[in-house]
Amino acid sequence: MEIFNAANLGFIMGGFGNTIIISALAIVFSIALGTVLALVKQYAVKPLSLLVSAYIELFRCTPNLLWILFIYFTVKGNYIFISVLAFTIFTSAVMAEIIRGGLNSIPTSQFEAAQSQGFGFFATMRLIILPQTFKTVIPALFSQCTTVIKDSSYLAGVNVAEFMYTTKVVMAQTSNLSQVLLLYGFTFLLYFVLNFGISLIVRAYQRRVVAA
């Protein structure tokens, strides 16, 4: 049986599209939640800061797959929602530490200058501190984005129709070694192109920052 037919390729590429959708949504929500977590840990009163620190350490010190399984078996919803939720609660902890590192790199004189101009805390963060912070941490954030894309393959273990799952289903149709290897090569190529493309964007950004 020829494994690379129109139906199989359409099925596989549908899974690839789901991988991109899940990863993109998880990255956006993780950065948003991670920013809030970083700000609370860095600047909030101690009880809140400690609570956020506990959240961050809980997810940073446990495997992503554990939370995928936990969310899958405890939360009701479609597979896109469940997948995005599982990755967001985990990845936001990592993003929070990346963003907090960027916050720590901003000189305190920036805060003093903002206060002297009458800026409040939120205005200072939105207009002065966070733009500089994200400029600093963009390479690290993009690196974490590639990790999310690669780790999305864990979802195949809970039968989410992402790229690895659809590839696995098609692969089960044949025992021909050459076709299996060809399918592996195709899967490798698409993952590589997607993640290498992100790496090229990061390198271009870094060159532009250095040139500026």
Domain boundaries, the chain: 6-211
At residue 106, the pLDDT reads 85
Task: For tokens 């990755």, name the residue.
Answer: 87
pLDDT confidence of residue 1: 59
Looking at per-residue pLDDT, the higher value among 40 and 115 belongs to 40
Question: What's the average model confidence in pLDDT over 156-179?
Answer: 89
Q: What is the pTM of this model?
A: 0.90
Does the pLDDT at position 9 exceed 70? yes
> Closest Cα partner for 178 from 186, 169, 166, 189?
186
* Confidence label for 212 from pLDDT (cuts 50, 70 and 90): low
111: amino acid identity, one letter:
F
Superfamily of domain 6-211: MetI-like (1.10.3720.10)
> CA angle 185-147-94, nearest 5°?
170
pLDDT band at 176 (very low <50, low <70, confident <90, very high): confident
